[in-house]
Structure 1
Amino acid sequence: MKLAIQTSSGDYALGLIDGTGQLVNAISRAPDTAAAKNIGTLYSALMQKAGKETSALTGVMVDLGPGGLSSTRAGVSFANALSYGANLTLTGVSALEATMLDAKRKTDRPILAMRPSPGGACFWAYYEAGHSVASGCEAPDQLFSRLATEGKAFALAGPLRRIGTEALRATAAEQIDIPAADLACFAKTTPILPITNGTLTYLEPITNMDGAHHIAAKDLAS
């Protein structure tokens, strides 16, 4: 059984995923509540709800973002500490890929998964048949303008109310609002492996689209 941790969006969520990839227990809280300020409190509540001990876990899966940096760091730090202390396997999850997998259950179109970034920009990844073909971080107006000239039929997915630009409201693309991807999608994501430094393995949040876990940003027409 694996623990799934998601703290990069507006709501914190933890869940247990069994050996078949099914989400069997989950708990979530808005991050502005007192209980959610301590991820350990949520973890204890989840395990109590499931009637499980840490010894029942075989691994930890944590959302690396992109998303809220402080909250993502909190979730990743907890995952690093728990996996180290309990000798559990550790893997990361891309929030954009999880968003795509959630949206894929609702549409057959190619999917543009988006997450807000500081300064009015957005992290994005474009998926065709479930595979990322391009990604980047830029102002959404600029991205939508380029897509409009290419005449692509796709679906936008992500916390669209938080993006909320005029270009988004004007686009003819199918829009699927996903503030936080369902934890059940975690089991279907491409695992992001931890960094090894001597005997220590750990994960770091995704803070830019030029990192090792993403293909380089490129024009969708290329």
Structure 2
Amino acid sequence: MTILAIDTSNNPLGVALLQEDQVIGEYITNLKKNHSIRIMPAIQTLMEDCEKQPTDLTKIVVAKGPGSYTGVRIGVTIAKTLAWSLNIPLVGISSLEVLAAAPARRFEGYVSPIFDARRGQVYTGLYRFENGRLTTVEPDQLAMAVDWAPKLAQLGQAVLFVGNDVPLHRKVFEERLGSKAIFANPTEQNPRPAELAWLGKDKPGEDVHTFVPNYIRLAEAEAKWLEKQGKTLNG
């Protein structure tokens, strides 16, 4: 079993190769550069360094969002193309779940991964490491940081915030959670593509043709449009 993991859903670009239970290669950058230009050379370099051919791959795992609309689309498109052309399984994992995975392993409490969504909004969710695996406490969602903070405060427990965009909202979380707001170290802020591979390791493949990203914001926009159309039709 050799798994290729791909994450271009936000500024960090990451690819990894997992062979059986060993990470044999991992590449990560955190740069505001065009992922569409850099991702294939990154995959090629990793494959060559690890002395692997495309035919050696047995599964593709991709970070399916939420995040940057363009970034998510790039990663998913490449992952679908590779899975289809190689006729191997494709698995999608939440980009927020990937971000939460590594810190959650060492933190005895809740983990809230954060991607900035502008205008005071964040893409977030709530996770916890229990019984040897990462569990979802609150599903991925789009929320105002000022609304998310008091919801977390009601838990009455420590919450670890992780992500490169956390500093943009840190004051809001500190004001509402006080000492229960814990912030991850700089070395933990980038999602690990090796964690992405591990999260998708035992998951069944999805239908390549019907596989779609999880933009969240787009889904909400569509819902509002449908609501507006309903009101118009109903007078």
Shorter-normalised TM range: 0.7 to 0.9
Distance 1:192 1:163, change over 3 A: farther
Which one of 205, 208, 221 corresponds to residue 216 of structure 2?
A: 208
Query: TM-score, with normalisation over the residues of structure 2?
Result: 0.76
Aligned mates of 2:3, 2:56 — CA distance in 1: 9
Query: 1:202/1:26 Cα in 2 relative to 1: closer, same or farther (>3 Å)?
Result: farther
1:185 deviates by 1.3
The superposition leaves residues 183-213 of structure 1 with CA deviations (integer Å, 9 ceiling, x where unpaired) of 221244264853x4xxx535322111897xx
Contact 1:93 1:192 in 2 (8 A): no
Q: How does 1:53-202 map to 2 (within 5 A)?
A: 53-128=53-128, 129=130, 130-135=134-139, 136-161=141-166, 163-170=168-175, 171=177, 172=179, 173-177=181-185, 178-189=188-199, 191=203, 193-194=205-206, 196=207, 201-202=209-210
Could you tell me whether the CA contact under 8 Å between 2:35 and 2:74 is conserved in 1?
no
The match for 2:232 is none
Which region of structure 1 is more displaced relative to structure 2, 124-133 or 78-87? 124-133
Q: TM-score, structure 1 length as denominator?
A: 0.80
- Segments of structure 1 that go 5 or more residues without pairing to the other structure are 212-222
Question: CA RMSD of the aligned region, Å?
Answer: 2.6
Shift of 1:19: 1.3
| Contact map agreement 1:12 1:29 (CA 8 A) in 2 | yes
- 159-168 vs 4-13, which moves further: 159-168
Q: Determine if contact 1:12/1:36 at 8 Å carries over to the other structure.
A: no
Report the secondary structure of 2:76's partner residue: helix
Taking the aligned partners of 1:34 and 1:133, their CA distance within structure 2 comes to 33
User: How far off its partner does 1:104 sit?
Assistant: 1.4
Taking the aligned partners of 2:146 and 2:199, their CA distance within structure 1 comes to: 28
Query: Which structure 2 segments of 5+ residues have no match?
Result: 220-235
Task: Sort the Cα spacing of 1:46 and 1:146 in 2 relative to 1 into closer, same or farther, 3 A.
Answer: same
**Residues 59, 10 of structure 1: CA spacing in aligned structure 2 closer, same or farther, 3 A cutoff?**
same
Higher helix fraction (1 or 2): 2
* Alignment partners' CA distance in 2, 1:61 and 1:151: 35
Q: Give the Å deviation of 1:47.
A: 1.3
